[in-house]
């Protein structure tokens, strides 16, 4: 093939790069917080329509698969218990996994954070003398922003999952953890392929249509030269089996297996919570995951890789076990339940807020209910982006119902709101104005609701307002009230409260 | 969640299943101030069914506004006040799935924040005697037909906390199925939240409005004259949008439908 890697400036903010630059380069922190970011997202009518269609389809497919599984609740319960056991004895299972992996010829590395994990990947690449890697879809490597790290080190990371390819070529960020290009439609995909593929490898055929098989074929041809060329592959893992030392990856396109066919070296970056005690546990999780994630009874490709085999597959394998905040999550008695997550995204697909916001507004690679429950635990609640996250939720509870490992999202979200409120109280200075107003409001609410006499005094005011104001109230520019009245009318309070009605009509009966 | 105590006393008759049972009414702050007619409707239904309704004046609010904003310490006074008002009642009824869920699920959690074991025990006990109106009518009184009449085309929005936290299931639908003269039309995408979410509608006002707009659109698709729900907070949100759109569709609480008879 002999293709030379080229540095491209076009579309990359004037910087010569090996791979397309995401428009929001670098870290998620520093992006606008959810409440602000969502204003822009809500205006994107095409995206809203794409999201509505896609989430409705996946929701319905999942519901169908669940309805044909009479033991669904028992399997959920089993998965919950298995994952709880892993959390309880995480140290034991991690060491067991390390022993099993090592016995199968796999190099095991430990990374305290994303920076360490990224560096281990780069060091391996440099030691092998490669300047490019092919990647199997991995959210963990997006959590650490591996691609951008490798780009800085002069190493090109090529996404080979179709949706990830669309995202990467589109200078975009994933907006979903299972279907990263959920916000795009076929016309947009065609336009991205035509514009970008030629800069980073084999161009898309000039006459490619919006027909999905044609688009998939363009991707196949574009990726083929990368598969054939690459000497190193990077993956995550859905599960790591402690007893057999196996990595389990489920996928839909076969690109994962392509990444194993030719590269000599495979590096897998895995969160420490991805452990399952034994091979037998797969009967539970391989039933739950595909049905919950894509509404399929089984994933098209289920791979179990158990170490190095002579003359077959990668001859050098590395597994990086990464903490990156997970032990902090484990230390939190309420928050730790989120570590059961198997990244199926059923909570995301059912979330009415996510459906309308899309994944970009959250400020994390993990959007939706899992994102707002996990990210502030991994990163802490110092940054305004992380502080806003637990509030990106109406507490409707739809996510609790569909989670295959029964994560009580709304309990954890409330718990995190408490953490944020505590942090806001601790910051006497530097918090935004809204925080100060809110703190005073909540303090007042505590006073009003803590004594019926106080409560009744406030009612004199609402009854007074009822006498003075005309009804209903339309849009009026009063701070805070304006946020409600911009979209909705409101009846002014009636001149009699229930309390006064009771006094007049029933009091004598007591 | 609590186990449901044994149903109505044996002295109950068919048309007075309440049999003189004493019921505390937890009106909830929003109904007290904004929707007194819903409280009046609950009193009317319960008295019609033979219950003796009491209204402890010490009551204020379930505390969701502060709890759901993360201000747990500020919510404790509301929990204490609830215990003060309703301690000793076997049955307390609220016309709200959301506030009922908050008392039954959040009050025990909040009590634990205090570390006061006596208070925790008290809250664990008192909080579990609260029922949302459909639960009380069906599970405790054992009635589905409350003698209501409402000659209109309506649709029903199952508000999230009633549906998911109280697991009301088809209880509201069973009550509505006996209302004479009424046509109940299914609501498309009924399971989706209306976007109220308490302080969510202020903190994330644009998102909340987008959700409410979709809910209103689905309601209009049914050609109903009224949209019914078991929570006036959701109805205030949905009704506010429907009113702004001059849709002509009115929002009304389930209790007001059930209270209405042919004599009215």
Residue B114 contacts A, CB cutoff 8 Å: no
Query: What are the DSSP calls for A3-47, one per residue?
Result: PPP--B-TTTTT--BSSPPPSS-S-STTSPPHHHHHHHHHH-HHH
Does the structure show a pLDDT above 70 at A470? Answer: no
**DSSP, res A490:** B
B195/A451 Cβ within 8 A:
no
A38/B53 Cβ within 8 A:
no
Q: Please give the Cα distance from A31 to A92 (Å, whole number).
A: 39
Question: Looking at residue B252, what is its pLDDT?
Answer: 98
Beta A301-305 vs A246-251: how paired, if at all? antiparallel
Query: What are the DSSP calls for A309-331, one per residue?
Result: BTTBS-SEEEEEEE-TTHHHHHT
Does the structure show a pLDDT above 70 at B14? Answer: no
Q: Which of B46, B130, B60 is nearest to B93 (CA)?
A: B130
Residue B80: list chain A partners with CB under 8 A. Answer: 450
The mean-pLDDT minimum among A302-316, A360-374, B13-27, B195-209 falls in B13-27
Does the structure show a pLDDT above 90 at B157? Answer: yes
Angle at B141 between CA B140 and CA B147, to 5 degrees: 145
Identify the closest residue of chain A to B206 by CA–CA distance: A39
Q: Which of A347, A255, A345, A248 is nearest to A305 (CA)?
A: A248
Residue B195: list chain A partners with CB under 8 A. Answer: 352, 394
Tell me the percentage of chain B whose pLDDT exceeds 70.
95
- Over range A327-335, report the average pLDDT: 97
- Over range A233-251, report the average pLDDT: 97
Report whether A91 contacts A116 (CB < 8 A): no
Identify the closest residue of chain B to A350 by CA–CA distance: B192
CA A376 to chain centroid, in Å, comes to 12
3-state helix, strand, coil in chain B (%, to 5): 50, 10, 40
Question: Looking at residue A24, what is its pLDDT?
Answer: 63
A472/B202 Cβ within 8 A:
no
Residue B236 contacts A, CB cutoff 8 Å: yes
Question: Looking at residue A413, what is its pLDDT?
Answer: 98
Question: Looking at residue B86, what is its pLDDT?
Answer: 98
Report whether A165 contacts A219 (CB < 8 A): yes
The mean-pLDDT minimum among A259-263, A317-321, B4-8, B104-108 falls in B4-8
Query: What are the DSSP calls for A125-179, one per residue?
Result: HHHHT-SEEEE---HHHHHTTHHHHHHHTT-EEEE-SHHHHHHHHTT---SSSSS
Does the structure show a pLDDT above 80 at A269? Answer: yes
A451/B81 Cβ within 8 A:
yes
A394/B211 Cβ within 8 A:
yes
Could you read off the pLDDT of A380-406 as tens digits, one per residue? 999 999 999 999 999 999 999 999 999
Q: Please give the Cα distance from A214 to B7 (Å, whole number).
A: 65
Could you read off the pLDDT of B34-80 as tens digits, one per residue? 999 999 999 999 999 999 999 999 999 999 999 999 999 999 999 99
A353/B198 Cβ within 8 A:
no
Could you read off the pLDDT of A57-105 as tens digits, one per residue? 999 999 999 999 999 999 999 999 999 999 999 999 999 999 999 999 9
Question: Looking at residue B5, what is its pLDDT?
Answer: 47
Could you read off the pLDDT of B117-144 as tens digits, one per residue? 999 999 999 999 999 999 999 999 999 9
- Give the B window 212-231 contacts with A, CB below 8 Å: 212-214
Q: Which of A394, A480, A501 sits opposite B197 (nearest CB)?
A: A394
- CA A411 to each of CA A373, A416, B51: distance values in angstroms, whole numbers, following the listed order: 9, 9, 35
Residue A488: list chain B partners with CB under 8 A. Answer: 209, 212, 237, 240-241, 243-244
Identify the closest residue of chain A to B213 by CA–CA distance: A487
Residue B204: list chain A partners with CB under 8 A. Answer: 34-35, 38, 353, 391-392, 394
Report whether B90 contacts B6 (CB < 8 A): no
* Mutation target among B67, B71, B96 for the A interface, most CBs of A within 10 A: B71
Question: Looking at residue B8, what is its pLDDT?
Answer: 44
Residues 6+ apart with CB under 8 A from A331: none
Buried b (16+ CB within 10 A) or exposed e, A454-492: bbbebbeebbeebeeeeeebeeeeeeeeebbbebbbbbb
Does the structure show a pLDDT above 70 at A160? Answer: yes
Residue B29: list chain A partners with CB under 8 A. Answer: 449, 455
Question: Looking at residue A507, what is its pLDDT?
Answer: 78
- CA A482 to each of CA A207, A489, B203: distance values in angstroms, whole numbers, following the listed order: 51, 11, 12
Q: Please give the Cα distance from A45 to A29 (Å, whole number).
A: 26
A52 CA: distance to closest CA in chain B (Å): 11
Q: Please give the Cα distance from A236 to A256 (Å, whole number).
A: 10
Residues 6+ apart with CB under 8 A from A99: A245
- Over range B206-222, report the average pLDDT: 97
Question: Looking at residue B6, what is its pLDDT?
Answer: 44
Q: Which of B58, B197, B205 sits opposite A395 (nearest CB)?
A: B197
Report whether B70 contacts A414 (CB < 8 A): yes
Torsion, Cα A470 A476 A478 A482, to 10 degrees, reads 120
Average pLDDT of chain A is: 92
Q: Which residue has the higher pLDDT, A50 or B108?
A: B108
A352/B211 Cβ within 8 A:
yes
Q: Which residue has the higher pLDDT, A475 or A302?
A: A302
Q: Please give the Cα distance from B151 to B164 (Å, whole number).
A: 30
Does the structure show a pLDDT above 70 at A253? Answer: yes
Question: Looking at residue B10, what is its pLDDT?
Answer: 42
A449/B66 Cβ within 8 A:
yes
Residue A354: list chain B partners with CB under 8 A. Answer: none
Could you read off the pLDDT of A457-467 as tens digits, one per residue? 888 888 888 78
B70/A390 Cβ within 8 A:
yes
Helix (H, G, I), strand (E, B) or coil at B162: helix
Question: Looking at residue B64, what is its pLDDT?
Answer: 95
Judge if pTM exceeds 0.80. Answer: yes
* Mutation target among B81, B204, B233, B245 for the A interface, most CBs of A within 10 A: B204
In which band, very low, low, confident or very high, does the pLDDT at A28 lie, cut at 50, 70 and 90? low
B76/A442 Cβ within 8 A:
no
Question: Looking at residue A29, what is its pLDDT?
Answer: 67
């Amino acid at each position: 093939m002999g293709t030379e890697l080229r540095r491209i400036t076009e579309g990359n903010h004037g910087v010569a790069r090996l791979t397309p630059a995401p428009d929001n380069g670098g870290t998620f922190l520093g992006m606008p917080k959810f409440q602000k970011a969502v204003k822009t997202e809500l205006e994107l009518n095409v995206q809203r329509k794409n999201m509505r269609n896609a989430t409705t389809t996946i929701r319905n497919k999942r519901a169908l698969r669940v309805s044909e599984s009479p033991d669904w609740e028992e399997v959920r319960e089993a998965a919950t218990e298995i994952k709880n056991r892993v959390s309880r004895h995480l140290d034991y299972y991690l060491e067991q996994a390390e022993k099993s992996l090592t016995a199968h010829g796999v190099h095991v590395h430990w990374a305290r954070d994303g920076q360490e994990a990224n560096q281990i990947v780069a060091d391996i690449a440099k030691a092998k003398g490669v300047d490019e890697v092919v990647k199997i879809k991995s959210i963990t490597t997006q959590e650490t922003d591996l691609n951008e790290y490798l780009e800085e080190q002069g190493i090109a990371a090529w996404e080979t999952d179709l949706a990830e390819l669309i995202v990467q070529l589109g200078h975009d960020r994933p907006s979903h953890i299972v279907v990263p290009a959920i916000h795009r439609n076929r016309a947009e995909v065609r336009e991205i392929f035509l514009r970008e593929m030629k800069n980073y490898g084999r161009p898309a055929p000039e006459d490619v249509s919006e027909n999905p098989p044609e688009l998939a074929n363009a991707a196949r041809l574009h990726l083929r030269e990368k598969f054939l060329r690459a000497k190193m592959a990077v993956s995550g893992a859905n599960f790591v089996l402690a007893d057999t030392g196996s990595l389990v990856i489920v996928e839909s396109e076969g690109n994962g297996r392509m990444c194993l066919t030719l590269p000599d070296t495979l590096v897998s970056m895995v969160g420490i919570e991805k452990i399952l005690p034994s091979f037998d546990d797969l009967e539970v999780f391989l039933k739950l995951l595909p049905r919950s994630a894509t509404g399929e009874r089984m994933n098209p490709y289920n791979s179990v890789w158990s170490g190095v085999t002579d003359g077959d597959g990668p001859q050098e394998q590395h597994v990086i076990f990464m903490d990156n905040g997970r032990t902090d999550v484990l230390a939190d008695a309420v928050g730790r339940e989120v570590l059961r997550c198997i990244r199926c995204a059923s909570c995301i697909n059912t979330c009415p807020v996510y459906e309308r916001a899309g994944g970009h507004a959250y400020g994390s690679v993990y959007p939706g209910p899992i994102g707002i429950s996990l990210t502030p635990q991994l990163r802490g609640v110092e940054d305004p982006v992380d502080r806003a996250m637990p509030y990106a939720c109406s507490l409707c509870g739809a996510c609790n119902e569909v989670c295959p490992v029964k994560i009580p999202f709304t309990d954890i979200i409330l718990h995190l709101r408490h953490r944020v409120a505590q942090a806001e109280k601790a910051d006497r200075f530097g918090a935004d104005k809204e925080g100060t107003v809110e703190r005073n409001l909540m303090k007042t609410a505590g006073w009003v609701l803590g004594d019926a006499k106080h409560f009744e005094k406030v009612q004199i005011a609402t009854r007074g307002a009822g006498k003075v104001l005309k009804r209903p109230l339309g849009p009026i520019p009063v701070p805070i009230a304006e946020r409600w009245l911009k979209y909705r009318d409101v009846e002014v309070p009636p001149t009699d409260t229930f309390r006064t009605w009771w006094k007049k009509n029933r009091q004598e009966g007591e | 969640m609590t186990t449901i105590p044994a149903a109505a006393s044996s002295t109950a008759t068919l048309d007075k299943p309440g049999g003189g049972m004493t019921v505390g009414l937890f009106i909830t702050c929003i109904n007290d101030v904004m929707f007194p007619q819903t409280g009046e409707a609950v009193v009317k239904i319960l008295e019609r069914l033979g219950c003796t309704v009491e209204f402890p004046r010490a009551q204020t609010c379930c505390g969701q506004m502060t709890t759901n904003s993360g201000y747990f310490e500020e919510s404790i006074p509301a929990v204490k006040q609830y215990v003060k008002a309703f301690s000793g009642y076997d049955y307390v009824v609220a016309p709200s799935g959301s506030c009922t869920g908050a008392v039954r699920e959040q009050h025990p959690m909040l009590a634990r924040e205090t570390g006061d074991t006596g208070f925790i025990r008290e809250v664990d006990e008192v909080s579990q005697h609260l029922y949302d109106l459909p639960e009380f009518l069906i599970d405790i009184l054992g009635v589905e037909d409350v003698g209501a009449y409402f000659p209109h085309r309506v649709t029903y929005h199952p508000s999230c906390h009633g549906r998911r936290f109280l697991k009301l299931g088809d209880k509201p639908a069973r009550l509505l199925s006996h209302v004479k003269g009424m046509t109940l039309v299914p609501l498309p995408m009924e399971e989706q939240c209306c976007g109220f979410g308490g302080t969510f509608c202020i903190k994330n006002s644009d998102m909340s409005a987008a959700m409410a707009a979709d809910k209103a659109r689905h309601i209009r698709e049914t050609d109903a004259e009224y949209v019914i729900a078991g929570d006036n907070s959701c109805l205030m949100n949905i009704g506010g949008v429907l009113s702004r759109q001059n849709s002509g569709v009115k929002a009304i609480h389930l209790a007001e439908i059930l209270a209405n008879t042919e004599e009215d």
